[in-house]
């Protein structure tokens, strides 16, 4: 069974750093991209970017380029999304989802989401 | 970026109703569109991919159509578990972009 399991909710202060995770199982992790999506109530869903575990190739949305960093650890089948200095505007639910560049490969399985709350 | 305009933003419907949700893309995206359902507290779940292909395990009352710039999601006979929010996603060009969502509520 394909599963993406994300790390738990985080409460941080502005300026702090944070790394959240997404662990894949039930499939060959290195052959599917992992995408990240942000959801803010009232702002809908936003595509953060994708990373390919096979070679760590990354593609960022221009809106998130330089604001977050995606990475992977193939040895543990885990993808990460991290911030060097959080802002209150980073408060959101972050989802990971797997993806392949084939018909039907786009975001077919999702993690349960990680709530990130940043207080100023 | 490609803008996805989804309508309506909310609708009220009754059990058994046939409902249609529309997404319009700001430029042609071929059939590179997926539809998702999201219930409160849960992650989105894919219903349709490549505009008209039904995700495995999704009931056949859901269907998708369209190509180019206009797409529709239809639920042929609304069931209790279908009251939720629906989103479209274009994956033709990066950055991928979502519609604003349609909340389907009980009339």
Please report the pLDDT score of residue A16 as a whole number. Answer: 98
Residue with tokens 């505009």: B51
Residue in chain B closest to A63 (alpha carbons) equals B95
| B1 has a pLDDT exceeding 90 | yes
Residues B66-90: tens digit of each pLDDT: 999 999 999 999 999 999 999 999 9
Average model confidence (pLDDT) for chain B? Answer: 97
Q: Please state, in angstroms and rounded to a whole number, the distance separating the CA atoms of residues B73 and B55.
A: 13
- Residue A26 CB coordination number (10 Å): 11
pLDDT of residue B87: 97
Q: What is the pLDDT of residue A47?
A: 97
Enumerate the residues of chain A whose CB falls inside 8 A of the CB of residue B34: 106-107
A contacts of B58 (beta carbons < 8 Å): none
B56 chain-A contacts, CB cut-off 8 A: none
Does residue B96 sit in helix, strand or coil?
Answer: coil
Taking only residues 19 to 78 of chain B, the set having a beta carbon closer than 8 angstroms to any beta carbon of chain A reads 34, 36, 42-46, 49-50, 53, 55
Q: What is the pLDDT of residues A3-35, one digit of tens each?
A: 999 999 999 999 999 999 999 999 999 999 999
Residues A25, A26, A32, A35, Cα dihedral to 10°: -50
3-state secondary structure of A92: strand
Res A105: pLDDT: 85
Question: Do A64 and A40 meet the contact criterion of CB atoms below 8 Å apart?
Answer: no
* Residue to test with chain B: of A4, A5, A45, A113, most B Cβ within 10 A: A45
pLDDT of residue A104 exceeding 90, the answer is no
Closest listed residue to residue A32, CA positions, set A21, A41, A20, A24: A24
In sequence order, which residues have a C-beta less than 8 Å from that of residue A32 and are 6 or more positions away? A24, A53, A98, A99, A100, A105
Nearest to B39 by CA among B94, B92, B103: B103
Give the span between the Cα atoms of B74 and B62, in whole angstroms: 6
Q: Pick the closest to residue B86 from B22, B34, B38 (CA basis).
A: B38
Q: Which of A41, A104, A105, A115 should be substituted to probe chain B, the one whose Cβ sees the most B Cβ atoms within 10 Å?
A: A104
Report pLDDT digits (tens) over A83-101: 999 999 999 999 999 998 8
Predicted pLDDT of residue A43: 80
Chain B residue whose CA is closest to A110: B43
Strand A10-13, strand A114-119: pairing: parallel
For residues A111-119, give the mean pLDDT.
Answer: 97
Q: Each residue of A41-83: pLDDT tens digit?
A: 878 999 999 999 999 999 999 999 999 999 999 999 999 999 9
Q: Residues B27-40: what's their mean pLDDT?
A: 97
């Amino acid at each position: 069974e394909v599963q993406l399991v994300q790390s738990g909710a985080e409460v941080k202060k502005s300026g702090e750093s944070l790394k959240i995770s997404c662990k894949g199982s039930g499939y060959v992790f290195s052959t599917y991209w992992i995408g990240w999506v942000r959801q803010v109530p009232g702002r809908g869903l936003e595509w953060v970017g994708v990373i390919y575990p096979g070679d760590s190739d990354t593609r960022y949305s221009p809106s998130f380029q330089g604001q977050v960093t995606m990475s992977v650890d193939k040895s543990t089948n885990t993808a990460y999304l991290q911030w060097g200095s959080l802002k209150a505007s980073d408060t959101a639910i972050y989802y990971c989802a797997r993806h392949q560049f084939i018909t039907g490969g786009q975001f077919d399985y999702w993690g349960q989401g990680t709530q990130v709350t940043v207080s100023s | 970026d490609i803008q996805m305009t989804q309508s309506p933003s909310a609708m009220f419907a009754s059990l058994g109703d046939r409902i249609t949700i529309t997404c319009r893309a700001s430029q042609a995206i071929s059939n590179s569109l997926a539809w998702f359902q999201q219930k409160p507290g849960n992650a989105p779940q894919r219903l349709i991919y490549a505009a008209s292909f039904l995700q495995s395990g999704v009931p056949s009352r859901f269907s998708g159509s369209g190509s180019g710039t206009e797409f529709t999601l239809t639920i042929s006979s609304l069931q209790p578990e279908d009251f939720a929010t629906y989103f479209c996603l274009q994956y033709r060009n990066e950055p991928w972009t979502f519609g604003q969502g349609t909340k389907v509520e009980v009339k």
